[in-house]
Chain A
Amino acid sequence: DSGVTQTPKHLITATGQRVTLRCSPRSGDLSVYWYQQSLDQGLQFLIQYYNGEERAKGNILERFSAQQFPDLHSELNLSSLELGDSALYFCASSVDLAGEYNEQFFGPGTRLTVL
């Protein structure tokens, strides 16, 4: 158990809908990362938040957004869903001390299926 929790574990929805995925980082970790894992693309970095502020952005679509709350949990919002958004979505957290890489601990993921 990494200490990172994600809910829900599975989510099934229809095209055009909007969903929210939730992540709670390990105790003491200030950074949260979101990744998308699909069959075709592997693990793709989407976005990173550090202590409530956006720090880095990867291949995140404009239909997707995220935020990190004062208690450090994070939510990833996916809107106008398309079939191609079906994937595993992982959250990871790290201490993220400045100037160096810190190990990222991954949650168990949320499986999103868009029908």
Chain B
Amino acid sequence: GESVGLHLPTLSVQEGDNSIINCAYSNSASDYFIWYKQESGKGPQFIIDIRSNMDKRQGQRVTVLLNKTVKHLSLQIAATQPGDSAVYFCAENIRGYSTLTFGKGTMLLVSP
């Protein structure tokens, strides 16, 4: 498939490990945050979101943590599987605006 980005930070884990992907966002006015997964040759796909009035939200095998004090977002993936291998982006949004600002992305590589 096509390579999304050759200059991205990379996290390599073993199948079954827990993965933590971090993101520092830029705008203190942002109040809605989303994690996207992008597999090779495909467009970004929504994983999980969180609003600024929360500091944690859980989905199926994924958890997002938000620390507004230091403008930091993290995505935790439990029991990582080879199918989780992809580039993960955080994106931020300001209330009242429909546009997103994306972070640089992190490549997750999961070894069997």
- Seen from chain A, the residues whose Cβ lies within 8 Å of a Cβ on chain B are 2, 4, 31, 33, 35, 37, 39-40, 42-45, 48, 50, 55-56, 58, 88, 90, 92, 94, 96, 99-109, 111
Using A4-B43, A101-B93, A109-B43 as known contacts, say yes or no to A56 and B4 having CB atoms under 8 A apart.
no
- Seen from chain B, the residues whose Cβ lies within 8 Å of a Cβ on chain A are 2, 4-7, 32, 34, 41-46, 49, 89, 93, 95-105
Known: A42-B102, A101-B32. 4 other contacts (CB 8 A): A45-B102, A48-B99, A55-B98, A101-B97
Shortest C-beta distance, A11 to chain B (Å), equals 13
Using A2-B43, A108-B41 as known contacts, say yes or no to A43 and B97 having CB atoms under 8 A apart.
no
For the residues of B in contact with A, the DSSP-based class is loop
Using A88-B2, A101-B93, A108-B41 as known contacts, say yes or no to A45 and B101 having CB atoms under 8 A apart.
yes
Which 5 A-B residue pairings sit nearest by Cβ, starting from the closest? Answer: A106-B43, A43-B102, A42-B104, A101-B93, A106-B44
Residue of A whose beta carbon sits closest to that of B8: A42
In the bound complex, what is the Cα–Cα distance between A45 and B41 (angstroms)? Answer: 19
Contact of A45 (CB < 8 Å), options: B6, B32, B95, B100: B100
Chain B residues closer than 8 Å to A90, beta-carbon distance: 43-44
